[in-house]
A and B are shown apart, each in its own frame.
Chain A
Amino acid sequence: MSARTRELFGLLPVSLLVAAGFAAVLATRTEDVSDATLTYGAVFLGLCVFAHLFIRARLPDADPYMFPLAALLAAVGLVLIYRIDAEFAREQAQWFVVGLLLFCGTILLIRDHHVLERYRYTIAAVSIGLLVMPRLPGIGAQVNGAFLAIEIGPIQFQPAEFAKLGIIVFLASYLRETGDILLRPRLRPLPGVRHALLYGLPAVLALLAILAFDLSPAGAALLIVFVASFVAVLRERPSPKHFGPLLLVWGLAMLMLIFIRDLGSSLMFFGGFLALLYVATARLSLIGVGATMFLGGAMFFASNVSHVHDRVEVWLDTFSQERGVCPSTGEVTEFVNCQGYQVAQSLFAQADGGLFGEGFGRSLLELPGGGVLLPAPHTDLIYAVLVNEAGLFGAAGLIGAYLLFAFRGFKTAMIANDGFSKLLATGLTAVLALQVFVIVGGVTRVIPLTGVTLPFVSYGGSSIVANMVLLALLLIISDHARSEGMRRGGLV
């Protein structure tokens, strides 16, 4: 069976899910039955088949599973969003069409992804520009304290979703070139005195710092890991001039914390960067230095930037009984009813779901007689709605779908023939998987909750469009790798 036929069969479960999902929502909402409901499903499937035919024509050898998986996730999202608000679903469907157009446009425009290498500095500059845009006066918009969106007329747009693609392209290209020379093993061992100094001096300094600044256990552990990793880096021959751009990326992640004030997207970017750095250099020591520098910075800003600080507080003590003035309403309430409201409601909604959930369309999102019970159900907390309606099994299925997608992405990276393709596929997959971890982890209180979207599922035009482009890039890489493999007669 050819790859494309497998892809077509892969769309079968998607169509079943769309039909069952919409039918369930329809069955539970008897009052406002509209014929449009089933039309949504049919149109969505029609678009999927169109995309499939397009891939069949342009990328005949591309991975057969990634597109059906993305379609499955988008279908879950569409059903959930339709259930929350039919108007949102209509908009989301429109964005899905736009995303599909960009998907096709990307495939038509970039026949060979290697051309991106030529424009890497331009791409990097544009990406950084995109990231800073939400802070520009006039078009920047603050959402829940974070600067993640810009508004041009009626359209709200989250540039970070696109910037993540650009930065991955830049890093993949840069690290392909410098990955081997960033660190090189020493040919001769260091002379004895300097050898002792290399280990002794940092150890003494670290100890002194811990004592002098009276660091907390977490801070001390961070410092020790940092120093140990740094020493490990120095044991080899690092190339300082090639570290410049990498320091720039770290600085960018920190700037994001200060400027955009969003721990989640900052974590997503930097995590993707570290994954690429590791794949390119195979040095855990570099990851140690990078991760501790990031965590140190995050800890510093968590205690100094009030928005980030609040998020961390809520995460650590969601159900605090402490009373205080709630900044959003001005009322004196318990912490759990104010700052911790979003996270607490997310957990309450999940508790209601149980193993099997309450069924599509049955979750309780609004208070009877008006008022919001579960805030941002279609964006930040869409995963909580899914747990509520489809239960633990449904949620595990969703995570499983993301894991399969990641598996296919990394698999593409592994069978690719050149460093840039490998790094690009790795980076794109890693940043998508990290985004899943950051938002689902926030909703389930693994990490502080931040406002990134659940890829392909959450409501949000920028998110769906950017992720469709990401998918297109992965499919292009995959098509190249697999067709080359077949030419060589190998099994793929």
Chain B
Amino acid sequence: MNRQILQVFGLFVALFAVLVGFTSYWSVLDAEGLEDNQANRRPLIEEQRIPRGIIFASDGQTRIAVNRAVGRGDDRVFVREYPTGGTFAHPVGYSFIRNGRRSLELSRNSDLTGEEDEFESLFSGLQGQAREGFDVVTNLDVAGTEAAVNGLAGRKGAVVAIEPQTGKVRVMVSIPEYDPNQIPSNFGRINDDANQPLLNRTTQELYPPGSTFKVVTATAALDSGKVTPDSIIDGSSPKEISGVPLANSGGQSFGPISLTDALTNSVNTVFAQLGEEVGRGTLVEYMRRYGFYQDPELDYPSFQMIPSGILNGEGDYVDDGFDVGRVAIGQGGLEGEIRASPMQMAEVAAAIGNGGRLMRPRLTDRIVRKDGRVKERIEPDLQSQVMKPETAQQLGDMMSRVVEEGTGTAAALAGVTVAGKTGTAEVGPNREFTQPWFICFAPVDNPRLAVAVTLERQPAGSQGGTVAAPIARSVLEAVLGGGG
């Protein structure tokens, strides 16, 4: 009998080993899979108990996102509140248990929930400290943002302002906005709104950039040594481009004209010829250096960004086979039409303003612990050297002329030289609307801010120089004048 009893015991040893094995599987080996399971509410509940970090504007004072404690004791949870309402809704977003997260609240979630590396968390665990989130100080400028909101005055559109030398995003405004405080109660209505308030028009929407794209064409032509600012090109109108006649704005014929004058007056025929001379390959190469064909390298959720580039009639990105003459002036055809986000065009202006060096755009300035120590500072970071510094210098000089005497005079500031470029794309089935643009940077000798402004579907006759440039001007004034 004893042999059999020993065998029965052996069977139980095996059975218990199976139990330990399964326990190991669930508690350790597959723990991550279970934590990511949709039906698992534990991570969300745990996170709700952590006071999220506060999100500040660049002044370190203005609170964009704060917490409200609900309940007491073990039941206490924290709910987000946004004292500034919709003003910073697009860059900052929201975070609610039922609705999830968006924008910085999503891309900086691990900082905002106080995620530490192993060593730090062990240390604070030993000290018995409850986990709390880190504060996030953004680069967002309150005055500049308000100037942009007031400038757009309810019209659908977008404003982006970047510090050329650091990549700091000082303004990110998209109209219409939404009130993040309304998300828990009204998400359905906000989400279904035909005006798409949840859409961040600075990074998530592409528009025809119109003549502002001539700056990109000029970059490729100048930097590859094809022309100089003084090169004379025939500016007659109309001119046959890819077998189809192309006219200048208002049909104006300029005759032989220098490149600088052509940019000042935004001469289509000159830049179309320039584009054909540069060729598709070189133009696309310079676009890539500017950051086209990829998401902006911004600390922002990728689902809320979309690459700028040349898109064909099916909506696919193409880098060959397009009508390079028309793309060069910010248009195109079924084989490929240039589309850009306001963020992308702001990066174009910023790169020129920083001697051809494109800095990675950043919404966050620093991560701060509750005791005031800085956990992490986001340092300026070079994304790409788009062009030679001399080319940038030449482009800056040319663009100053636009504001001094050309199409962008409405952006001129007293005592500060502004370099800019207007754009006005015709949109709509019968070209009955326009998409006015203005990109600029200032001051020219030591650029501290680059701005891109665009408005959606404006009535015919609305020009970049008359509609968009004044908004850029007031943003420049607000940020630079305010000691920013």
Residues of A within 8 A of B (CB): 29, 31, 275, 278-280, 282, 319, 334, 336-337, 344, 347-355, 364, 367-370, 373, 387, 391-392, 395-396, 399, 402-403, 406-407, 410, 413-414, 419, 422, 426, 430, 433, 436-437, 440-441, 444-446
Interface string of B40-59 (1 = CB under 8 A from A): 11100110110000000000
B12 and A406 within 8 A (CB): yes
A387 and B27 within 8 A (CB): yes
A368-B77, A392-B27, A444-B19 known; 20 other A-B pairs, CB under 8 Å?
A278-B8, A279-B5, A334-B39, A348-B34, A350-B31, A351-B31, A354-B31, A355-B28, A364-B42, A364-B45, A364-B46, A369-B71, A369-B77, A370-B75, A373-B41, A399-B23, A402-B16, A407-B9, A430-B12, A433-B15
Which A residues are in CB contact (< 8 Å) with B32? 351
The residue from A368, A392, A436 contacting B23, defined by CB atoms under 8 A apart: A392
Which residue of A has the minimal Cβ distance to B37? A319
The residue from B23, B45, B46 contacting A396, defined by CB atoms under 8 A apart: B23
What are 23 A-B interface contacts by the 8 Å CB criterion?
A: A278-B4, A279-B1, A282-B3, A344-B39, A350-B23, A351-B32, A351-B35, A355-B27, A367-B45, A368-B45, A368-B48, A395-B20, A396-B20, A396-B23, A399-B16, A403-B12, A403-B13, A413-B5, A426-B5, A426-B8, A433-B12, A437-B12, A441-B22
Q: How far is the CB of A368 from chain B (nearest CB, A)?
A: 5
B39 and A446 within 8 A (CB): no
A347 and B26 within 8 A (CB): yes
Which A residues are in CB contact (< 8 Å) with B12? 403, 406, 430, 433, 437
Which B residues are in CB contact (< 8 Å) with A406? 9, 12
Q: A444 and B30 in contact (CB under 8 A), knowing A334-B39, A368-B75, A403-B13? A: no
B71 and A368 within 8 A (CB): yes
B2 in contact (CB, < 8 A) = yes
B8 and A279 within 8 A (CB): yes
Residues of B within 8 A of A (CB): 1-9, 12-13, 15-16, 18-20, 22-28, 30-32, 34-35, 37, 39-42, 45-46, 48-49, 71, 73-77
CA distance A278 to B35 in the complex (A): 44
Which B residues are in CB contact (< 8 Å) with A368? 45, 48-49, 71, 74-77
Which A residues are in CB contact (< 8 Å) with B41? 367, 373
Q: A350 and B9 in contact (CB under 8 A), knowing A282-B4, A396-B20, A437-B19? A: no
A351 and B20 within 8 A (CB): no
Q: A399 and B28 in contact (CB under 8 A), knowing A278-B8, A348-B40, A433-B12? A: no
CA distance A422 to B1 in the complex (A): 8
CA distance A331 to B294 in the complex (A): 44
CA distance A275 to B4 in the complex (A): 9
Which B residues are in CB contact (< 8 Å) with A355? 27-28
Closest 7 CB pairs of A and B: A351-B34, A444-B22, A351-B31, A410-B9, A350-B26, A279-B4, A336-B39
Which residue of B has the minimal Cβ distance to A334? B39
A391 and B1 within 8 A (CB): no
CA distance A240 to B1 in the complex (A): 23
CA distance A433 to B23 in the complex (A): 17
Which residue of A has the minimal Cβ distance to B31? A351
Q: How far is the CB of B40 from chain A (nearest CB, A)?
A: 5
CA distance A419 to B22 in the complex (A): 36
Which B residues are in CB contact (< 8 Å) with A446? 18-19, 22
B23 and A387 within 8 A (CB): yes
Q: A444 and B26 in contact (CB under 8 A), knowing A31-B73, A406-B9? A: yes
Q: How far is the CB of A473 from chain B (nearest CB, A)?
A: 17
Q: How far is the CB of A66 from chain B (nearest CB, A)?
A: 15
B4 and A444 within 8 A (CB): no
CA distance A352 to B25 in the complex (A): 12
B5 and A414 within 8 A (CB): yes
Which B residues are in CB contact (< 8 Å) with A391? 27
CA distance A444 to B26 in the complex (A): 7
Q: How far is the CB of B7 from chain A (nearest CB, A)?
A: 8
Which A residues are in CB contact (< 8 Å) with B30? 351
CA distance A479 to B459 in the complex (A): 101
Which A residues are in CB contact (< 8 Å) with B48? 368
A347 and B75 within 8 A (CB): no
Q: A350 and B27 in contact (CB under 8 A), knowing A368-B71, A437-B15, A444-B22? A: yes
Q: A441 and B19 in contact (CB under 8 A), knowing A351-B26, A355-B27, A392-B24? A: yes
Which residue of B has the minimal Cβ distance to A337? B39
CA distance A410 to B11 in the complex (A): 12
B26 and A445 within 8 A (CB): yes
Which residue of B has the minimal Cβ distance to A387? B27
